[in-house]
Amino acid sequence: MAEKAAAINSIRTVGNWINGKQVGSSSERYGDVFDSATGELCARVVMSIESDVDAAVAVAQEAFKSWSMTPVLRRARTMFKLKELIERDRAEIAALIAQEHGKVLHDADGSIQRGIEVVEFACGIPHLIKGEFSDQVGTGVDTYSMRQPLGVCVGITPFNFPAMVPMWMFPMAIACGNTFVLKPSEKDPGCSLKWAELMQEAGVPDGVFNVVQGDQVAVNALLTDERVAAVSFVGSTPVAEHVYATASAHGKRVQALGGAKNHLVVMPDADMEKAADALVGAGYGSAGERCMAISAIVAVGDSAEPLLEKLLPKIAALKIGPGSDNNNDMGPLITAEHRDKVRAYIDIGEKEGASLLVDGRKHDICASPGYFVGPTLFDHASKEMRVYQEEIFGPVLTMVRVDTFEEAVALVNEHEYGNGTSIFTRDGDAAREFANNIQVGMVGVNVPIPAPLRIPVGHLDVTVFNRV
Ligand code: NAD
């Protein structure tokens, strides 16, 4: 007993970051953070309550007075410095992601790179934030418009990209002259404090960037706080709907991105080698815990058999293991609970009658103590099946066979989610028709994950709720 208490005391505690320093919470509640490759406790995170949120928002509101008046060139300079610091520390940050989230180091590093690209974009804020001027709109009357910061902005982020998704939000918000409160996922909160330290080192004044750890208690306090001007959320669809409804009812600007189920359509004329490579990377990379993961394959005409011929050996060759080993292709899932949920979906798919070609529940890695599920492949699924309809968020690919291109397009368009989709074909007409007729936010041709940067990320259906 005493040993257990001593071990817990030696485990790092992830606190809040308010006004330039790490602080505890007034709450006695802690969440456990696990090393997903071993199942061992690696940190404890404070679970904030209303008074913590109140303190963070108060300092952010105070800091807004001077930060919003800081010359834009000086604000941009902090972003240049931030980029340099993230590049300096990226190996350390990747290791933290590999431990808490489970991504393999090269994948974690890739996600940091995507975040850095947003910081680079924010470096251009003096140009991006320019207003407009029209002279002589009436006799002797000129008009001009300015882009002004909003005030205290809030970011609420999911577990699957603990570095990148917060970086979608705070660099731009802060470069624009806003102040920020981040509420990261309680499952892998470590990166949030690293951002706080680097922002401070980059010269961002205390109070401009704050972190409140915790769960829905902290989220709900942020959504209803009248001093918060805008909320950016990324997470699951039910929570996105809640965030959107609550924050907009409290008069805030809101963008809320929800869950996803993305299709990859394979035409009979596709380069099957490339399609199979794309499916392995986009289906099983990051253990399928990506909003832009491909989780549904639509095999058109007689494409299924030649595709499987290429795909099955690639799945068998995947190396699964701890994210800290860069030789691995795929790591564990985030928690034991999530692993069990993914396994339960494989049970469901079997009961529903889909053909289970590769069973991730039986992979050797499942004997290890981490939260592993091996890559899984269903064939002959039908559109009514839950394994096809629902977001599993794990390494499970589900193939539906259809006869025609038109059926494939209808299938993708009818699906509840509308985040991204891709087609593999050598036919330029088919590619163009696909891009023009598909009702999904991001569309790719012969690429695995069509996730563009620096242009608005498009989502449709239950993947996005907007009030901006
Ligand atoms: P989640 O919805 O469970 O949690 C997201 C955030 O909301 C966390 O910070 C969490 O603490 C908070 N939260 C959870 N339950 C809440 C509640 N009842 N009330 C208020 N706040 C609550 O999502 P997750 O499991 O962390 O992340 C995975 C989900 O995120 C997947 O559905 C994935 O598709 C989605 N996602 C979407 C995108 C996108 O761009 N559309 C990107 C990344 C992840």
For ligand 1, say whether the CB of 256 is within 6 Å of any of its atoms.
no
Q: Is residue 424 predicted with pLDDT exceeding 60?
A: yes
pLDDT in tens, 38-58: 999 999 999 999 999 999 999
Shortest-distance atom of ligand 1 to CA 161 = 43
Q: Which CATH number fits domain 262-455: 3.40.1030.10, 2.30.30.220, 3.40.309.10, 3.20.20.70?
A: 3.40.309.10
Using N-to-C axis directions, what is the helix angle for 216-224 and 50-67, rounded to 10°? 50
Q: Which CATH number fits domain 2-257: 3.40.605.10, 3.40.50.2000, 2.60.120.260, 3.30.300.30?
A: 3.40.605.10
pLDDT in tens, 145-166: 999 999 999 999 999 999 999 9
pLDDT in tens, 177-194: 999 999 999 999 999 999
Q: How far is the CA of 236 from the centre of ligand 1 (A)?
A: 4
113 in Cβ contact with 103 (< 8 Å): no
Q: Is residue 456 predicted with pLDDT exceeding 50?
A: no
Domains 2-257 and 262-455 agree in fold: no
For ligand 1, say whether the CB of 213 is within 6 Å of any of its atoms.
no
Question: How does the average pLDDT of the chain come out, rounded?
Answer: 94
Sequence spans of domains, the chain: 2-257, 262-455
Structure tokens belonging to residue 439: 């009702």
Q: How far is the CA of 106 from the centre of ligand 1 (A)?
A: 24
Known catalytic membership, residue 42: no
pLDDT at 6: 57
